[in-house]
């Protein structure tokens, strides 16, 4: 039956109303006193666009696979703890994200173990994932990705710590495969064991304003590695190797050659620390395994402790300086230079905007905006009063922080 103009008009208006008023996304709350008590049940119930809220408490063996195309998951109140207790979803992780756009915040992931020794707090397969204000501890892999080259991962204000003391495999606190983009900001990594603190095979990795100090009990290998090259932007971090590391290299780039068409290591305004008496290699590259057009920019970094930095390191070096062992004390949160340090103003002109720090790490996790100094200094911190635990510098401070001359225990560039 044909419809007249009025009938078509009414049908069209009804269709427009449906478009203007989509079905409202649901909020699913999980908790001991809620109608949904298990996270695994919430994962089955949630639809695209929903929000899952998780009440405080310990959720033992409550693992889940999230198959939605878009979802936000938040812990509310005191951070909920997901304790694997020998159980992982799909033999992979406490949580597995299959393929979608996900946001996760305020969750603790603990104790993941798998048959192949790479049980993860989170296994991220494909899509986009943002992780904020989360804790990963005692997992065989803190967070592990797959190798889909269109995936993207962003990690903010989170803590990765305490790899298992297990020699059957290498346990990395954060291991990123061949994905398009990785961004890590305001996060802390410590307590590695034989594996690396952060390892990325991404096409582009942006590592900004983090604290990667293995600590006195850590036994990590590399603190930061980019084994297959790519574009690695490393700005404003503190990267420290413990005295008991079995590997002298702090930062490694290109050990397995290059997978990506563009390869650059951009290392600016970082503080690199070697706490042992064995000389460190603060940065190591494998130029013979990388394309001839690989670019290295190493500017305005500060090394502390025995070791070599720019000697033998290809590329463009400016404004890098070195301090002797003990000049700064990471155990006490002392990672700044005094107001009258002779290193103030001893840097190359601030690099282009993308390599100029705009924030500083704030202990225990997070960042604070950078107050632009009148005289820049090398390293991750510009403000002389910045102390990791929030303690001010001791009155009448003397020594290297007060501005005595710099000893070239590493190799500094002009």
Domain ranges of the chain: 25-402
Residue 4 has pLDDT above 70, yes or no: no
- Quick count: other Cβ atoms within 10 Å of Cβ 329? 13
Q: 321 pairs with which residues across the strands?
A: 302
Read off the pLDDT of each residue in 17-21 and give the average, rounded to a whole number. 42
Omega before 364 within 30 of 0, i.e. cis: yes
What are the DSSP E strand ranges found in 211-279? 211-213, 224-226, 231-235, 238-241, 249-253, 264-268, 271-274
Residue closest to 122 by CA, chosen among 81, 94, 102: 94
CATH superfamily of this structure's domain 25-402? Single-stranded right-handed beta-helix, Pectin lyase-like (2.160.20.10)
Q: How far is CA 326 from CA 2, 47, 275, in A?
A: 88, 54, 8
- Tell me the pLDDT band of 216, cut-offs 50, 70 and 90: confident
Instruction: Give Cβ neighbours of residue 84 (< 8 Å, ≥ 6 apart).
Output: 61, 63, 94, 109, 110, 111, 112, 113, 119, 139
Q: What is the DSSP letter of 246?
A: S
DSSP for 30-83, please give it: ESTTSSB--HHHHHHH--TT-EEEE-SSEEET--EEE--SEEEEEE-SSPPEEE
pLDDT tens-digit map of 334-389? 899 988 899 999 998 767 888 999 999 999 999 999 999 999 999 999 988 554 54
Residue with tokens 């911190």: 381
Band of the pLDDT at 5, cuts 50, 70, 90?
very low
Q: CB–CB of 356/350 below 8 Å?
A: yes
pTM of the full structure = 0.89
The 10s digit of each residue's pLDDT in 23-33 is: 688 999 999 99
Using alpha carbons only, give the angle 166, 171, 174 rounded to the nearest 5 degrees: 155
Q: Residue 114: is its pLDDT beyond 50? A: yes
**Cβ-defined contacts of 18-25 (< 8 Å, 24+):** 25/49, 25/50, 25/51
As a whole number, the mean pLDDT across the chain is 88
The answer to which of 28-42, 95-109, 339-353, 386-400 has the lowest mean pLDDT is: 386-400
With a CB cutoff of 8 Å and minimum separation 6, the contacts of 279 are 248, 306, 307, 308
Residue 400 pLDDT greater than 60, yes or no = no
**Quick check: 149 and 172 in contact, CB under 8 A?**
no
């Amino acid at each position: 039956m044909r419809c007249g103009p009025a009938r078509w008009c009414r049908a069209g208006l009804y269709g427009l109303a449906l478009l203007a008023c989509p079905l409202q996304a649901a909020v699913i709350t999980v908790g001991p006193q809620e109608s949904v008590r298990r996270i695994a049940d919430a994962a089955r119930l949630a639809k695209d666009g929903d929000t899952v809220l998780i009440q405080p408490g310990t959720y033992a063996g409550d693992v889940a696979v999230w198959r939605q195309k878009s979802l936000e998951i938040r812990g509310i109140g005191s951070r909920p703890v997901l304790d694997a207790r020998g159980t992982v979803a799909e033999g992979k992780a406490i949580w597995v994200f299959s393929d979608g756009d996900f946001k996760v915040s305020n969750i603790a992931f603990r104790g993941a173990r798998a048959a192949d020794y790479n049980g993860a707090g989170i296994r991220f397969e494909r899509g986009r994932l943002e992780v904020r204000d989360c804790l990963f501890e005692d997992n065989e892999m803190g967070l592990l990705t797959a190798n889909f080259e269109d995936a993207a991962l962003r990690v903010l204000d989170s803590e990765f710590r305490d790899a298992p003391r297990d020699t059957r495999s290498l346990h990395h606190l954060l291991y990123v495969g061949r994905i398009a983009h990785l961004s890590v900001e305001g996060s802390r990594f410590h307590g590695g064991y034989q594996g690396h603190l952060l390892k990325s095979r991404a096409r582009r990795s942006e590592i900004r304003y983090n604290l990667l100090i293995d600590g006195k009990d850590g036994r990590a290998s590399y603190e930061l590695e980019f084994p297959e090259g790519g574009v690695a932007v490393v700005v404003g971090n503190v990267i420290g190797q413990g005295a008991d590391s079995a590997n002298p290299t702090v930062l490694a780039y290109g050990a397995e050659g290059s997978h990506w068409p563009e390869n650059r290591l951009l290392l600016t305004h970082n503080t690199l620390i070697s706490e042992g008496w064995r000389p460190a290699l603060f940065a190591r590259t494998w130029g013979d395994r990388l394309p001839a057009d690989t670019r290295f920019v190493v500017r305005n970094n500060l090394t502390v402790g025995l070791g070599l930095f720019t000697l033998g390191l290809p590329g463009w070096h400016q404004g890098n300086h070195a301090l002797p062992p003990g000049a700064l004390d990471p155990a006490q949160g002392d990672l700044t230079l005094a107001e009258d340090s002779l290193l103030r103003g001893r840097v190359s002109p601030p690099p282009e905007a993308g390599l100029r720090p705009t924030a500083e790490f704030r202990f225990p996790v997070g960042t604070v905006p950078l107050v632009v100094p009148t005289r820049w200094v090398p390293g991750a911190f510009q403000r002389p009063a910045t102390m990791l635990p929030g303690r001010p510098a001791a009155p009448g401070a003397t020594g290297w922080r007060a501005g005595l001359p710099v000893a070239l225990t590493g190799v500094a560039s002009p």
